[in-house]
Chain A
Amino acid sequence: MRVAPFIPLLALAATAGAAPLRDPGQPPAAAQQAAQAQNRARPASVGATLDAEAEAHLRASFDAADSAHRGTLSRAEAQAGGFGWIANHFDAIDTRRAGRVSFDDVRRYLKSRGAGSATQ
């Protein structure tokens, strides 16, 4: 008969200290339990969901560079804020020649190149 998955998981984690490091090794038990609860509601992403998760990484970098919370970045702000990719592609992204670009401008540029799967 099968037992509920939580119990042996905890038992294994409790004895993990004695075992040599495995690579990849088992994450801490708390992280494993949190993931189990999360994964029931959030299966592995594909298609548009994967694109949205990829885009979220880029948006997080954009927001980190936008320390003034203006919603837009100049070329210099992008470079100084760690988003050098925007600075390198600034003229192509800034189609309105505004001197500042929003994250939507970045999305439009990525989509216009038709490459990759993120933001499509």
Chain B
Amino acid sequence: MVTIQSVLRDAWFAAAAVLAVAGAGCGGGGGNDGGASGSAAQFIDANHYSAAAGASLSTPSEATGVTHHTLTLGGGAIAYTATAGHLSALDAGQAPEASIFYVAYTADGAAAATRPVTFFFNGGPGSATVWLHLGSFAPKRLATGVPATTQSLPFPYVDNAESLIDTSDLVYVDAVGTGLSEAVAPHTNQDFWGVDADAAVLRDFVLRWLAVNGRTASPLFVFGESYGTTRVPVLARLLETAGRRVNGVVELSSILDYNSNCSVAGGTPTVDCAGFLPSYAAVGDWWHLDSGGAAADLDADIATVRGYADATYAPDAAAWLANGTLPPADHLASLVAFTGLGTATWQQQFDMDFDTFRHQLIADTTLGVYDGRMSALVGTPLDADDDPSNSFVAPGFQSGIDALLPALGYTNPSTYVMASNAIATWNFSHGGRALPDVVPDLSATLALDPQLKILFLGGEHDLITPFHQTELDVARLGAGAPLALHFHPGGHMTYLDDGSRPLMKAELAAFYAGAR
């Protein structure tokens, strides 16, 4: 065991040396000829990684595959290094807690003191960070053509004109029990399957990555999607508490409070669904079923419905939940006009959950959970998982990551687990609540660091984390909070939309410039 670990450590140090040489070469000469290192470090990791609850790794590896690349962006060439492999999160006594898999894209020759580094986290819990890695702002991305469902597999892996590599180094991190990340003995994956334990071990990973890579002075950003937007506020608070400044938090497709979201993952509503109504209207607008607005201008439609949701629908829905009474007929007529969803469906389930909405809007048709613009006829292959917006893209992301890792010099026989069963035994309790509310975490983080900036992004056609619910949740922070919110046509993985990704890139660039 000692020999295996020492060999792997040596391999890691060799990889680190390659990185250091590459950085020095570009920084000193100003040229991007790549002659400083030339070779790539290839690594075959013999460990078997498991996403099972009881899994526990006895011989963590810190070896990495290192490859060198160039991306042409906005007329300039950016030379960057991709590093793929594991780094152990260490506890307070410097003992390894978990072997965390990551892929880092770092620009060559940048000044560590001023070059931002961003850590990305998908959610689930139980989801690997494959969506943000392969779909959003890395130097390359999978071209899906969403919301169309015509692109055949494998999705083309193309240079990303909207990559954030011109702004920040990018580190894609798999939580414990997802991707290729696993707890280190005597810990098991289950030890880190809870809101607080997960954020703590990811804090330890981030601090270790920054220390090992000489980045303790770099501006730091954390970027979460979906459950990752629950994870990242807790992580940011823990980092600031530990004394590590966080410059910016980016929240994409947010669930900040599981108690205010009326229909978490399609559950039966127990609070009013006003946060969902504008998203229903946007989806109705897409399918030309609404008659509420003067057509074309989606933003104007949304503004109208947002106001109606808060002033009229919220109290109506609360009354229906409390005693089953329906509002006057003209209220029902407004809802039908806004969304295109029929009167009978509103009468049956007045506090409208998204599963009812997406199955009832169009006869014999299932609309996507993640993107209500995507559809499948009931009984067709795209409807097999009851979510065409997931069924269409998931196989392409699995084959995409399976092909990418060896190309980045990292080879391992284990299955890269895109979705584990962590949620079944996840400890959701947090802050004295059975289900997490991380608005207090954002508040505490802002108290520790008044310079922190927070950006919320999302898709107007996302039916699982509706944008207006985010607006309602963050309003709790008060009018003076340093927040920016931008929502665009698109689904949960809003960056998949070729029209919205450039808008998001511009908003991110402005956000990073203002959060230094």
A, B assembled together? yes
Which residues of A does B touch, CB under 8 Å?
Answer: 1-2, 5, 8-9, 12, 17, 19-28, 31-32, 34-36, 38-39, 42, 44-46, 50-51, 53-58, 61, 79-80, 82-85, 87-88, 110, 113, 115-119
Q: Does B186 contact A (CB under 8 A)?
A: no
Asked if A118 and B446 sit within 8 Å, CB to CB, the answer is: yes
Q: Is the CB of B227 within 8 A of A24?
A: yes
Cβ A82 vs Cβ B242 within 8 A? yes
Check: B270 CB closer than 8 A to any chain A CB: yes
A58 to B241, CA, bound (A): 8
Q: Given A8-B268, A9-B268, A22-B369, are A116 and B447 neighbors across the interface (CB < 8 Å)? A: yes
Check A57/B441 contact, CB under 8 A, given A5-B268, A32-B267, A115-B446.
yes
**Are B124 and A23 in contact (CB-based, < 8 A)?**
yes
Q: Are B259 and A39 closer than 8 Å at their CB atoms? A: yes
Report, nearest first, the 4 A-B pairs whose CB atoms are least far apart.
A84-B243, A115-B450, A116-B447, A118-B447
Once A21-B419, A23-B227, A44-B260 are accepted as A-B contacts, the answer to whether A38 and B447 lie under 8 Å apart by CB is: no
Distance between A59 CB and nearest chain B CB, rounded to angstroms: 10
Instruction: Name the contact of B440 in the complex, choosing from A50, A79, A80, A83 (C-beta under 8 A).
Output: A50
Whether B386 contacts A19 by the Cβ 8 Å rule is yes
A115 touches B447 (CB 8 A): yes
Do residues B265 and A26 form an inter-chain contact, with CB atoms below 8 A?
A: yes
Nearest opposing residue in chain B for A46, CB measure? B476
B247 within 8 A of A: no
Between A and B, 17 residue pairs with Cβ closer than 8 Å are: A12-B267, A12-B268, A20-B387, A21-B127, A24-B123, A24-B124, A28-B423, A28-B428, A36-B270, A39-B259, A44-B260, A44-B437, A54-B440, A83-B243, A84-B242, A84-B243, A115-B446
Besides the contacts A26-B266, A57-B444, what 11 more A-B pairs have beta carbons closer than 8 Å?
A9-B267, A20-B387, A22-B387, A27-B428, A27-B435, A44-B439, A44-B473, A54-B444, A83-B242, A116-B443, A118-B444
Q: How does the 8 Å CB contact mask read for B456-483 relative to A, with 1 for contact and 0 for none?
A: 0000000011000000010011100100
**Given known A20-B419, A35-B258, contact A45–B124 (CB-CB < 8 A):** no
Please state if A23 and B127 are interface contacts (CB–CB under 8 Å).
Answer: yes
Most buried by A among B268, B349, B476: B268
A113 to chain B: closest CB distance in Å? 7
Nearest residue (CB) in B for A33 is B434
Question: Contact between A5 and B241 (Cβ–Cβ < 8 Å)?
Answer: no
Q: Known: A44-B260, A110-B447. Contact between A25 and B125, CB under 8 A?
A: yes
Q: Which chain A residues border B244 with CB–CB below 8 Å? A: 84
When distances are taken between beta carbons in the complex, the residues of chain A under 8 Å from B267 are 9, 12, 26, 32
With a 10 A CB-CB cut-off, give which of A24, A45, A113 has the most chain B CB atoms: A24
Contact, CB under 8 Å: B385 / A20? yes
Q: Is B308 on the interface with A (CB-CB < 8 A)?
A: no
Q: Is B424's beta carbon under 8 Å from chain A?
A: yes
Q: Hey, what's the 0/1 contact readout for B358-376 against A, CB within 8 Å counting as 1?
A: 0000000000010000000
Contact, CB under 8 Å: B242 / A85 = yes
**CA A35 to CA B230, docked complex, whole Å:** 16
Q: Is there a chain A Cβ closer than 8 Å to B406's Cβ? A: no
Give the chain B neighbours of A119 by CB distance below 8 A.
Answer: 447
What are the residues of chain B within 8 A of A26 when measuring CB–CB?
264-267, 423
Contact between chains at B450 and A113 (CB < 8 Å): yes
Interface size on B, residues (CB 8 A): 70
Given known contacts A24-B123, A26-B265, A118-B443, is B450 in contact with A35 (CB within 8 Å)? no
Q: Which residues of A contact B465 (CB under 8 A)?
A: 24
Binary contact track B113-137/A, C-beta < 8 Å → 1, others 0 = 0000000001111110000000000
Contact check, B428 vs A87: say whether CB atoms are below 8 A apart.
no
CA distance A45 to B437 in the complex (A): 9
Cβ of B429 to closest chain A Cβ, rounded Å: 7
CB pair A25–B126 under 8 Å, yes or no, is: yes
Which residues in B have their C-beta under 8 angstroms from that of A39? 259, 270-271
| Structural contact, B431 and A57, CB atoms closer than 8 A | yes
Closest to B418 in A: A21
Distance A82 CA – B441 CA, assembled complex (angstroms): 17
Contacting pair B258 A22 (CB below 8 A): no
Interchain CA distance A80-B242 in the complex, whole Å: 10
Residue among B126, B387, B431 making CB contact with A53, cutoff 8 Å: B431
Give Cα A117–Cα B369 distance, bound, in whole angstroms.
35
The smallest beta-carbon distance between B477 and chain A, in angstroms, is 7
In the complex, which residues of chain A have a beta carbon less than 8 angstroms from the beta carbon of B265?
22, 24-26
B426 close to A (CB within 8 Å): yes
Per the bound structure, the CA–CA distance linking A21 and B266 in Å amounts to 12
Chain A: minimal CB distance from B226 (Å): 4
Contact call A31/B440, Cβ cutoff below 8 A: no
- Contact of A2 with B435 at beta-carbon distance under 8 Å, contacts A22-B266, A25-B265, A26-B265 already known: no
Cβ A44 vs Cβ B257 within 8 A: yes
Residues of A within 8 A of B269 (CB): 5
Given the known interface contacts A44-B437, A56-B431, A57-B440, the answer about A2 and B266 at a Cβ–Cβ threshold of 8 Å is no
Verify if B448 is at the interface (C-beta below 8 Å from A).
yes
Q: Would you give the shortest CB distance from A104 to chain B, in whole angstroms? A: 15
A19 to B419, CA, bound (A): 12
B264 engages A24 (CB within 8 Å): yes
Write the B220-240 contact mask toward A (1 if CB under 8 angstroms, else 0): 000000110010000001001
Q: Within residues 343 to 364 of chain B, which ones have a CB less than 8 A from any CB in chain A?
A: 349
Q: How far is the CB of B190 from chain A (nearest CB, A)?
A: 13
Chain A residues with Cβ below 8 Å from B450 are: 113, 115-116
Picked from A35, A50, A53, A88, the residue with its CB within 8 Å of the CB of B435 is A35
Q: How far is the CB of B257 from chain A (nearest CB, A)?
A: 6
